[in-house]
Amino acid sequence: MVKQGVVSAALLLISLWPTLSRAEWGKPLGGTYDGPEGKPRIVTPSPVELGADERATMSVFEQATKSVVFIANTAIQRDPWSLNLFEAPQGSGSGFVWNKQGHIVTNFHVVYGANSITVTLADRTEHKATLIGADPDHDVAVLQIRVPEERLPPLSVGTSHDLRVGQKVLAIGNPFGLDHTLTTGVVSALGRTIKSLSNRTIEGVIQTDAAINPGNSGGPLLDSAGRLIGVNTQIVSPSGAFAGIGFAVPVDTVNRIVPELIKHNGCDGAPQSQ
């Protein structure tokens, strides 16, 4: 009896095969098949409406990237075989436009030991930079490039003394000169201390969980309104990759140091580059 039922089911399926192959076989349930020659009609779903927070973040990124630059640091080396001198890449990082006079702010460790510094703007043009001055104790350096003012949109400068833990932050950089990157997070802690390249203590440092990787050093840390609140400078990681702890020199410190470096056009002990 069971065998007879199986045979009957098989015969029924065979009898239905032409109908299924012509009309229904392979069609997903609920599919739309009113296109030309019975082919599926592609229905494009309406775009999902983005939230206000997403739109605000996108707007800040689009505006701020115009001010963020890539910095390449090269040093003079001697070929041991020919004794000829040549420039070799020594390091790189990010920076940002401070004013329309062509001053660029970055970390001191990004340009340390440089014989030549090149700044690449958002429009991908490259410009030789002069090291105007540096404060190694706070890991801050100021460069200058000669570019028409209309091509130098400075960042809006905020404050850091009124920051609060949990406040949203955005870290923007131009690592390796490929393109601008954005990471977001919050202020994880305030009043941290870190060691500078000169082994001096930097006070009042901002800690954030916004991902900061090596190529982002010297780039800006912004608040949700796009105002500069810090300069990304260090990470804590045993492997060299971001592990959730990044540090930024507070903008109140930067805003005190940078005008002095520009005013005095250099500082004692800082390497000079032409």
Burial 63-96 (b: 16+ CB within 10 A, else e): ebbbbbbbbbbbeeeeeeeeeeeeeeebbbbbbb
pLDDT band at 120, cuts 50/70/90?
very high
C-alpha 99: how far from its chain's center? 21
**Active-site residue, selected from the candidate residues 92, 94, 109, 196:** 109
**pLDDT of 86 over the 80 cut:** no
Burial of 176 (0-12, 13-18, 19+ CB in 10 A): middle
pLDDT given for residue 24 in this prediction: 47
pLDDT given for residue 36 in this prediction: 60
Task: Say how many C-beta atoms besides its own lie within 10 A of residue 247's C-beta.
Answer: 25
Delimit the domains of the chain by residue range: 53-274
The dotted CATH code for 53-274 is 2.40.10.120
First CA to last CA distance, the chain:
97
pLDDT band at 64, cuts 50/70/90?
very high
pLDDT given for residue 204 in this prediction: 93
H/E stretch holding 112 reads: none
How far apart are the C-alpha atoms of 214 and 173, rounded to whole Å? Answer: 10
Q: Is 188 a catalytic residue?
A: no
Q: What are the tens digits of pLDDT across the range 148-201?
A: 999 999 999 999 999 999 999 999 988 776 788 899 999 999 999 988 878 888
pLDDT given for residue 200 in this prediction: 87
**Active-site residue, selected from the candidate residues 135, 139, 209, 252:** 139
How far apart are the C-alpha atoms of 149 and 60, rounded to whole Å? Answer: 22
pLDDT given for residue 225 in this prediction: 94
**pLDDT of 5 over the 70 cut:** no
H/E stretch holding 264 reads: helix 251-264
pLDDT band at 116, cuts 50/70/90?
confident
Q: Is 138 a catalytic residue?
A: no
- The mean pLDDT value of the chain amounts to 79
Q: Which of these ranges, 100-109, 175-184, 264-273, has the smallest mean pLDDT? A: 264-273
pLDDT given for residue 98 in this prediction: 97
Q: What is the pTM assigned to this prediction? A: 0.74
Which tops the pLDDT comparison, 230 or 237? 230
Burial 101-111 (b: 16+ CB within 10 A, else e): ebbbbbbbbbb
pLDDT given for residue 58 in this prediction: 93
**pLDDT of 78 over the 50 cut:** no
List helix spans (H) across 20-64: 52-64
Q: What are the tens digits of pLDDT across the range 9-39?
A: 444 444 444 444 444 444 554 455 555 665 6
Are 218 and 94 contacting, i.e. CB atoms less than 8 angstroms apart? Answer: yes
**Active-site residue, selected from the candidate residues 217, 223, 252, 273:** 217
